[in-house]
Amino acid sequence: MIRRFRFPDYLTSVWPLAITLTGAFLFWLLVFGNPLEIVELRWLGELLKSRAAAGIAPPVDPHIVHLDIDRHQFESFSTIALEYQNAADIIRQATALGASVVVFDIIFSRGSQEESQPILDSIKEAQRYGTHVVLAEALEPKPGDGLAPDRIRSFPFRERLSEPSGLINARSDIDGVLRRYALVEPGPQGLEPSLALAAYLSWRGLNWKDVSFPNPRVVRWPELSPDNKSIAPREIGVEPVLLNFRTAWSFRTSDVNAAKGVFIHYRLEQMQREYADAQNARSASRPVTKSLDDCVVAVSYIATGIGDVGTTPMGTNQPRVVSHLQALNDLIQSSFLHQTSRMTDACALLAVLLLVFFMKRCAGLVSLLVLWLGGVLLIIGLDAWFVYARNTVFSALFVTSLWTALNLAEIVRRYTLEFVERLKLRTTMSFYFSPRVLERVLKNPGSTEPQEAELTLLLTDLRNSTPLAERLGANCFFALLNQVFEIQTRVVTGEDGNIEHFLGDQFLSYWGAPDPQPDGPDRALRAALTLTAEMDSFRDSLPVETRQLFGYGVALHSGSALVGNKGSRLRLDYGVVGDLVNTAARIESLTKYYGVRVLVTRDTYARLTYPPPARMLDCVAVKGKNVPTEILEVSYSPGKSNFHEVAKKYGEAFARYRAGQFDVAERLFTQVAETEGDSPSLVLARRCAQLRISPPAFWKGVFRRENK
């Protein structure tokens, strides 16, 4: 079934998937809008904050001045009369300093007419000097009726005045951030101006009667052209506009350029001082400096609890008056941020599709990731430029999402295509290669070329296989043999070992090829000890008559060998060739000779990262080898509970044996064999008895094993 699998033609190229994804994004954008709009606006806030921190925010209009009244000053107004008298003083002082408009972000809804009279008198006096006062109002739902708004006005008797008023209903987005500003609000008698628009119209010498609505979506008023030569209509949509914030309210900097983005702040004491200086100059018939000439002075409480605060793109706990000031500034400078239309964003999505041409030239994953990163930086860079230079906001993150989706789709497409090809290759080659070799071959087909490598071999042998076969019969014996091989395969592959072959009742595996494995000896030892434990458990599960014959030996040996493809045109295999395999087989045969389960050569033991406790059993020159090999038995569980004590006694006897003191060594080995039941000690005791009778002429402590 796998061999017949055919990759769909439409997925063999990048274009069908790219066009499908782009079409899906376009459909969603044009039908439902940008699903990432709030995220886009949060990103816009980060751009605005970066602009402020870099000192490149455009300067605010110098005609806008904010008068702060903090908590300490507010608490000094112990009565409503004092609070209103202070407001009247502000109007009088600002008028004397040349202010064109005084706008209050404060609703004077308390007190009697007598308490309010100082403000009313100051307003009349300001009118005579050409200064307009804009009062604040708010629309709130009536109790029990969420549809009909109720008006909260400054002074119940304000109808006597001809001064304008503006609504202070600044509403947050769904995430609680003040980004937008409604220049007009629907009221009981129709659309009404916001505080910023009322202040701007007054500053321009206009009033609400000069405003018209050519259609329900546009507000229009006449305005003097920049060259002061003609009057032209100015139009703005009635939908809330996006404010072009310059800095955070508390932003202070020594950078002159950055400071230009901060509104001029006055404290009450500063205005009083400048007013006193102006009065003194007037009394002395000196020129009067009008520090607020043609300015719009916005008055508000800024302390928590007495003034509204909210979150803007520039930070939290920002006085809400900042939205009115920023809207007024954007009206004066015509600098509102403009969001692009859905059609414009759709064109941006189509432009991203053109980048797919470069995707085809990226051969690897790294180059594809570099292309993706370059595209992201390009989109983000263009977004920042449009915001900073053109006051325009487009759906940069939505466009980036499409670009990211295209790249992810291409990565998935390539990996799927590669996976299918490897699956076909795996199906064919799995008949010839073991799992680990197959993985390496699939990643690097050239790795199967013949090479010399440092390997660690693990060779096992099922003892008494002939008696077992005779007792069990062919079917049962092969079932037993396959169970043994199943355990061996699972344990070895669990340690990333490579299966070389099954030969009769022997099993050969190795570590270190086709790629080097520095921890190969450690893995091989863990596999050997795990095999020993699992074979003990398997042996215990066998019938008694089979259990008595079942035996198992493991040998580990390390060194250099040749690895590579071997075989014929009809049968190919990847395996190990060299004397290393023969030596490992000879060492494994010694497990039965010494009566131990696991033997490790010195070559392997020396390469272990954390060698376990061990005892050197013998120094043997196996059949066909002149160079002796030191063999060791490692401590394992289950094993001898008193391994350390036995190893110490065995070591003392072995030292006498290597020194040629065969009579003493025989006695010591015999004691260990009798008291501890140690099989290697019994073997060495018998050998010492033979050597004592026929001592060699040149003894070097090496036992020559002539049998396989």
Could you tell me what percent of the chain has a pLDDT over 90?
45
pTM to 2 decimal places = 0.61
Q: Are residues 194 and 305 in the same domain?
A: yes
Question: Does 48 have pLDDT greater than 90?
Answer: yes
Domain end point (choices 286, 305, 333): 333
C-alpha–C-alpha distance, residues 691 and 671, integer Å: 18
For residue 590, how many other CB atoms are within 10 A of its CB?
22
Q: Are residues 159 and 97 in the same domain?
A: yes
Across the range 195-207, mean pLDDT stands at 93
Q: What pLDDT is stored for residue 79 in this prediction?
A: 79
Q: Is the dihedral of CA 602, 606, 608, 612 positive or negative?
A: positive
Residue type, 609: T
Q: Are residues 328 and 382 in the same domain?
A: no
Question: Does 4 have pLDDT greater than 70?
Answer: no
**Does residue 628 belong to any structural domain of this protein?**
yes
Q: What pLDDT is stored for residue 3 in this prediction?
A: 43
Q: Are 147 and 186 in contact (CB under 8 A)?
A: no
**Does residue 428 belong to any structural domain of this protein?**
no
DSSP codes of every residue in 113-161: HHHHHHHHHHHHHHHHTT-EEEEEEEEEEETTEEEEEEEE-S-TTGGG-
Residue 567 belongs to domain with CATH number: 3.30.70.1230
**Does residue 437 belong to any structural domain of this protein?**
no
Q: Are residues 288 and 270 in the same domain?
A: yes
Question: Does 317 have pLDDT greater than 70?
Answer: yes
**Does residue 121 belong to any structural domain of this protein?**
yes
Q: Are residues 407 and 326 in the same domain?
A: no
Q: Are residues 73 and 204 in the same domain?
A: yes
Q: Are residues 172 and 218 in the same domain?
A: yes
Q: Are residues 393 and 524 in the same domain?
A: no
Nearest to 480 by CA among 555, 541, 554, 553: 541
**Does residue 319 belong to any structural domain of this protein?**
yes
**Does residue 301 belong to any structural domain of this protein?**
yes
What band does 2 get if pLDDT is binned at 50, 70 and 90?
very low
Q: Are residues 454 and 581 in the same domain?
A: yes
552-600 pLDDT, tens per residue? 899 999 999 998 777 776 666 777 888 999 999 999 999 999 999 999 9
Domain end point (choices 333, 360, 386): 333
Q: Are residues 312 and 381 in the same domain?
A: no
Q: Domain tally for the chain?
A: 4
What's the domain range around 695? Answer: 649-708
The DSSP element (H or E) to which 598 belongs, if any, is strand 598-601
Q: Are residues 529 and 412 in the same domain?
A: no
Q: Are residues 523 and 627 in the same domain?
A: yes
**Does residue 429 belong to any structural domain of this protein?**
no
328-384 pLDDT, tens per residue? 999 999 999 999 999 999 999 999 988 888 887 887 888 889 999 999 999 999 999
Query: Residue 328 — left, alpha, or beta (φ > 0 → left; ψ -120 to 50 → alpha)?
Result: alpha
**Does residue 435 belong to any structural domain of this protein?**
no
Q: What pLDDT is stored for residue 454 in this prediction?
A: 94
658-702 pLDDT, tens per residue? 999 999 999 999 999 999 889 999 999 999 999 999 988 889 989
Domain end point (choices 639, 665, 694): 639
